[in-house]
Amino acid sequence: MAAELIHVTETLTSGLKADAVLESADGIVGFRVTWIAWDSGFRRSGLAIGDVIVAVNGESVAPYLLPGKFHGQIGQANESYAWQQRGWKSECDLALTVMRFGEQHEVTGQLRFERLYRTPQQRSALAPGGPGTISNDGFSSPWSGWYERLVFKLSVILDGSWYRQRMNTRQELKELDEHAARIEYLANNHPGDFADAVMADWNAARESLNGKRLDAVDLRYRELGAQRLEIAKGAAAQSWTTIKQELASQTIATFPSPPAHEASKMVGRIVELPALSPRQFVSDLGAGFAVAAGSGEGCYLIQLSNAPRFGHFYATMERFKAQVHPKLSERYQFLAAIRGDVRMITFNRRPVTGLLVDIVAALAGDSGELCVDMRSENQAGGYAFAGEAQVDSIDPVQLPDDAPPEQVVAAMVRAVKLADDDRWRSLFADWRVAIYESGRALFDASYSIPSHLFQSIWETSRKYIMGDVLDARVDRVSPIRRITRADPTTGVPDVDHVVVWLDHFGSFDGEIRAYNHFTLRRRWPLQRVNGGPWRIAELQSL
């Protein structure tokens, strides 16, 4: 009976599907295995989906990794013709040298003639005896179509795509579980090697997507955020009270505002403006203003554009949000000094005349979490927020210059956890290396990352680590490659390159598991120049 269910063809095959990898970030090229057929001679050889084949029977595949030359190689559609041309026979052993996560492995399998299968009714089947390719056994689609779609999904998952790219692993796991009933039916009603292979592949994909499990994570860094906020809030309240007391002799009633013709007499006098929000920020005549208006009792104008003082305040506020409180609300109170000049602008669709004022001190947030005294600048030409010195002294991130790549990435994660913005920024490279198709390298030592990009990426990273991401830990590190060699004639230095892979952990169904999402970055390239400190080569969020 078994012979009637199997038809052996004369098509010699490895039973593998593989993608030609002509170039890669880690320098490993070859044929990446994307699928191993259930009846392949490599099923129990130790070969894994995601392995990159670099040699066959000791012969490097590199000469065939050119457009138009790899179509007859292992795992390709025309491999059968190439095997026959070389005189290979069925059941011949085939030794493969593969790279797996940067390590070399040797596996041996067999070439086999391709087999076609039949049901007892002599209809086309996926395996000896069934299931039939066009039957569905009461499910919504034929077995052949269902299995083809399942193989595609399993291939993407087991190929390690979610390691190399970004994928919503929890959603993929949910979708994979939708196949459970059909796989169980297959095992119960069509038992055999095919059903066993499908079950094994499905379980392997589930295990991959389910992610590594941690027993616990240390979330004290989140308490540190609350501790920082309490320090800053207490310092802000004390500082605001002190500033008002020190300026009391210069302070006048805010409303009604002094008449325009008396503005020159009021230069330097202090007013405490009512609370403002972005609703009171307007643009008029090519300039931006914050408008503090009384009910028919005049108004004051703070110039926002081309105003270094406000720019420094804004920079301080962004630093506060990065280090202490990312969700600081946009509610502002200002102590301001009257300048003596008047400006007419359009506000609420009508003309208003207001006294221009300069900010002296600011209080921001619903509870006054941020206070900035702008009566004197710091050494960097900006302003410190109240409590900044105490906040900066909390558990700073330390890193030696000779730290290995994995320690640098771990320090980056810790800096994000502890809101150590300065240390985080220092871990990114201040150079750039461009490699052209010709192999020529261009080293740009003048490259610098714009501050606004740093700020945006930092805020995103802080949002993740204070949200769904409970922890991030180094998974593995690629071998170190030298991508440029020192050339005194061009000034190009020795540059080494490495990739660190990061696992992100979240809470799912009461467990802490590694996961991936479109918003998260697993791959972290690092470089070092002339044996110096390793630095992260791409600006990206956690």
- Per-residue model confidence (pLDDT) at position 3: 46
- Do residues 476 and 501 make contact, with C-beta atoms less than 8 angstroms apart? yes
Residue 164: pLDDT over 70: no
- Per-residue model confidence (pLDDT) at position 391: 78
Question: 247 and 182: one domain?
Answer: no
Q: Which domain holds residue 143?
A: 4-214
pTM of model > 0.85: no
Question: 205 and 230: one domain?
Answer: no
Token duo for residue 245: 């007391």
- Tallying the residues shown for the chain, one arrives at 542
Question: 43 and 149: one domain?
Answer: yes
511-515 and 481-484 as β-strands: parallel, antiparallel, unpaired? unpaired
Task: Give the list of residues 6+ apart from residue 323 with CB closer than 8 angstroms, or none.
Answer: 228, 388, 391, 392, 419, 420, 421
Question: 260 and 371: one domain?
Answer: yes
- Do residues 120 and 5 make contact, with C-beta atoms less than 8 angstroms apart? yes
CATH code (residue 432)? 3.10.450
Strand pairing partners for 525? Answer: 499
Tally the domains of the chain.
3
pLDDT above 90 coverage of the chain, percent: 64
Provide the 3-class DSSP secondary structure of residue 521.
Answer: coil
Kindly report which listed range (68-72, 133-137, 354-358, 421-425) carries the lowest average pLDDT score. Answer: 68-72
Question: 53 and 132: one domain?
Answer: yes
Among 214, 247, 264, the domain boundary falls at 214
Question: 37 and 136: one domain?
Answer: yes
Taking the CA atoms of 423, 424, 430 and 431 in sequence, report the sign of the dihedral they define.
Answer: positive
Provide the 3-class DSSP secondary structure of residue 154.
Answer: helix
**514, burial (CB in 10 Å: exposed 0-12, middle 13-18, buried 19+):** buried
- Per-residue model confidence (pLDDT) at position 204: 94
Note the pLDDT tens digit of each residue in 353-381. Answer: 999 999 999 999 999 999 999 998 765 66
- Do residues 130 and 20 make contact, with C-beta atoms less than 8 angstroms apart? no
- Do residues 343 and 257 make contact, with C-beta atoms less than 8 angstroms apart? no
* pLDDT-based confidence at residue 1 (cuts at 50, 70, 90): very low
Note the pLDDT tens digit of each residue in 275-300. Answer: 999 999 999 878 899 999 988 788 99
